[in-house]
Structure 1
Amino acid sequence: MYRLLIVDDEQIITDGLFEIFSNLDLELDIYKAYSGQEALQWLQRTRFDIVLSDISMPGMDGLALMEVIRQSWPRCKVVFLTGFNDFEYVYQAIQHPGVKYLLKSEGYPKVIDAVKESIKEVEDELRILDLLQQSRTQSDMIETLAQSNYFRNFLYDAPGDETVGEDFRRLNIRLNPDAPVIVALGSLTHSGGKSSRAYRQERALAVKMLSDTFLAGQAASVGFIDRYDDLVWLVQPSSSRTHEETVRFLEGMFELILQSCLDSLQMTVAVALTGEPAKWDRIPSVYEKLREQQHYRAGDGTRMIQRVDLFAADLFPDLRERTPRDKAEALTVHLESGRKEEFLELFDELAEPIRTGRAGAAYLTELYYTIALLLLSHVNRWELREKIGADGLMQAELYPTWTERFMHLRGAAAAIFSARQHGEQNRAAAAIDRICVYIEEHISEDLSLVRLAEVIHFNPSYLSRLFKLERGINLSEYIEETRLAAAKEMLRKTELKIAEVGAKVGYEAAHSFTRFFKKWTGLTPQDYREGVRT
């Protein structure tokens, strides 16, 4: 879903355009502002794809606003709508790519067409074929692989400060080793379920190249594939952005990247990123924290973007206490990444010698306790003992045959995956319940998708999708139903004026409240009040 911001200092025009676009069958999340300064506040909070704005406004005019848009959201399309027919304004506006200019006298159909055309332009820019035309040369690919190999090792054993700068120069890494970085982790889900390692890495590389196109020129960044075939980004702000502005920019860009991955690669991605920059020697611990946050996500987590608080307690675990890797490293990868099918298939392959009788007791004992230990480690780490019943994992003697022992391990693994999925569903329900309570308690306030997303620290697009999955209706419909119920209650039980009732359910203009109420009930608020009191 794309975001449209309507800006005009004449309230009747802004409200009229808002209502027209709200009633159109377009995939748009629509916002409005009554001045350039108010629009600036929205642009500082979230990404917008299209801005429909007057040019001549007091304070900050449309051209000044456009310069802010160019700095903050360079892919945003601008449509200027004005009655100020001045050549100088027109001339300045049309010098910028992605900018359209319309006179208010041209009517609503022209405005609608201009916005639809802008939507088409945004969609075209997201298509993978257009993006990959800017792909790497062979030497760039070799450089990318070298950098990825370096940073994969970096995640587990950060080198000393005295060597990082020299490493960066040798590998042509365009990051400042003396400045902290924002870290982001993208967890990739491939369509079709089970897939080969080579296929996953190939697709992850495609996502990396796509993201490079979005981020190029906007921030210094390096993206690479970790040992779980997920993506990690290290980002430093450009000279024109603070760290906070860079994080906000990244959230907006990742929304576009995630949508493009879905449309062009049929892949879903969830992103967790740090809300504050981290020092280089903390990168391994920060990475571990991001992986933990991805595990504790709400719902399926796909296309979710979440900030992670680096100042939370217990942020920096001891990363060297790891499960054995000699025979079960691939199992650990699948378990940590939530790949149930791949885990169970590999488990069955490892246990195959039991059926054929080709393995001795020593091998089976080692294999059993290796797998049991990694399962137990996972159970303890995520506090699943009560749900899994893991007490017998390290007691192979409880089961008389090797077949029964490995069946016990397999059942425990399946239970871990089920508990993880159940936990994600519970956290999704809890998050949506919190949103519903917030709506009821703040019914007269700003209930925009952006504001509600800020309440639970989700990105707006993910919140909208998650709410629909949990409640079966769109978030906007739920808000309107809640406002309607509250309005009916006040009309029945209070003597408040119609305008006062409207203000208490979020409608500052009485005519907007009347239009909303009649749309849902077929009656005006006054007719409804008189009807229920007769």
Structure 2
Amino acid sequence: MYRLLIVDDLPIIVDGLLELFEQTSHLPLEVMSAYSGEEALEVLSDHRIDIVVSDIKMPGIEGIELLREIKSQWPACKVIFLTGYNDFHYARSAITYGGFDYILKVESDEKIIQSVERAIEKIEEEQDQVQMIARAQSKMRLALPSLQKEFLWGLLQGKQVTEEELRQAFKEIDIPLDATMPVYLLMGRVDAWKEMFTMPDKALLTYALQNICDEYLSAQVRSFSVVFELSKIVWIIQPKASDELSGHTGGLDWMRAHRYTSGILDSVQETCKKLLRLSVSFLLGSEAIPWNSLSDRFHSIKYGLMQGHGLLHEVIMTDKDMQKADPTDKAESYHDGFFHARVQLLMTCLENNHREQFNKLFVELTAIWNDPDTPCERKSELYHSLSSVFLFYLYKYRDIRDQVNLQVDLDILFRYDDSASWPELVEYYWKIADCIFEWNAQRGLQLPTEVVNKVHRYIEEHIATDISLTALADYVGLNPSYLSRLYKQMTGIGLSKYVNDYKNVIAKDMLLNTSMKVNEIAAALGYNSALAFIRFFKKQNETTPQDFRTARSPAPGPHS
């Protein structure tokens, strides 16, 4: 049984079509009617409608606007337009926005029935299970590259997951790697772009480099690659699966995989130079690493392509070559990527008020200040990096800067002299960090009433937008989770309930005290469609907006 909705502002048309379809017994139809676009939306909010036969020109919500609303809520619904306007513009608009058919009102009853029959056939075709599965798989295939890249990029940036989570993710998004085995990392780079190249040109050429290297690698190893910063690619590599393969990286399979990868890089360079006219460089990790070390090795290799021999063109090197380049700077050179990643993460901890992780990172970084064998230049580099982190944070948040300045002399952040020893600097930065975290903790306790008032003001001023918890948290300067807990603690209700209650009050006021149409009220309250607003209103009040307005409107006088 299919539900058919007839919509027209002329009762004679609606009633005539109702009679026509009730007499058409061969069609499995449940027929419903509406005498305006607004009334049709209310029917659609309560029922799944399969086919709509509607006038294209009506007072209030016209047919084209009604079509948009129907497609946003019931994409599979087939909309057939009837009109007395023999105008190509209307027909073209109807088809452009997803209309199923277009029939003039002067056409015969038989043609209208035939159009509904075709709509039913189309619905049955679309409901075929095999086709629906195929479409879902097709959409998944289209989305898969983005999902794969997003997940692996998170791992490269330090996201920690368990082996089981990794295995499950690889299975779900079809990444052909083993979550239980270590990996080699290979990084490639386009050395330089010609000035004539546009951004799409660069993206296409980088994609070509990725494909060329993928083709060479696939002959002997399994790999997965991610493009980043437009001109760089990282490959995660493992030996091909076999019964003999184990996690012991000193085994023959691992040695062969590394040797093969290293050996094909010359060929990749030559192919890129010949086919793409591009100069490319590579840096290959010399050792297989566990997945939880992926981010550290990624940043080390990335940094290796940004200094020393890595700055030259058409380079092929390993991270061991990078260390050998200057034996006196071995530790510094190898760990620079790790160091810079940790400094960035330290800033993230301050921003997100993660005290425990901050403490751990700070201890790791400042250990060199207590190490007599670490060169002074390295210690100075850490001083400047930490000073930059704290200065950026303090000048981003003026209130906290003023608070810290009362307890700590901030001049040391701008210049360092020998009057303070390195161990004393550790204490100095600990003191600043303590001030920041204590201030953040106190801020959560101070003036909660003011926070609630600011939240209410923001909601009132942005009622026409999609009000999210993240936007509210940014506005009041608090963590979203903390703001949600604080608000409920102070008011006794959740934030989402308050937003819904406030929107409901405004909606009732607009319905009773303005002449705004339902779709205009929906837009004023931030809803993407009138149908979504009708559903919200009915859930809040157990009645539709139109019924609410009608029931509370003053009855017309005897002479009106």
- Smaller-chain TM-score range? 0.3 to 0.5
Larger radius of gyration: 2
